[in-house]
Amino acid sequence: MPSSAISSRRRAIRGCGETLLHDFGYDRATRGLYPEIYPANAFIGNYLRLDLLDRYGCREALYDNIKGYFTYMADKTGTLWENVVTTPPATTGSPRTCCTGWIILDC
């Protein structure tokens, strides 16, 4: 692949990363961004986003998204859910384990 094509691809990937970092997340729907893309569910879509933020060292965005995705769950039922809605089976223990792992690994 010619170096100009590689450079172009890298710029496109960087642009995609910026879009994922700044335009997507827990508040995308309330901001009216990309309404043609269906929102992710807690498991597995939101967890994949959190994992990407962690892998790329976006700690502030990671913590902001953890709070944005899960605070309302903890406030409402005292647990974290597999789904973003309260219909069964919304609550399980697996989300707690994931978030605890991210927070502990960063300490």
| pLDDT score of 8 | 58
The arithmetic mean of pLDDT across residues 24-43, rounded, is 87
Residue 92 reports pLDDT greater than 80: no
The CA dihedral of 35, 85, 24, 107, to the nearest 10 degrees, is 180
Helix (H, G, I), strand (E, B) or coil at 59: helix
Identify the band that residue 107 occupies on the pLDDT scale cut at 50, 70 and 90. Answer: very low
Question: Computed over its alpha carbons, how large is the radius of gyration of the chain?
Answer: 16
Cβ-contact 39, 84 below 8 angstroms: yes
Residues sharing a CB contact under 8 Å with residue 103, sequence separation 6 or more, in sequence order:
66
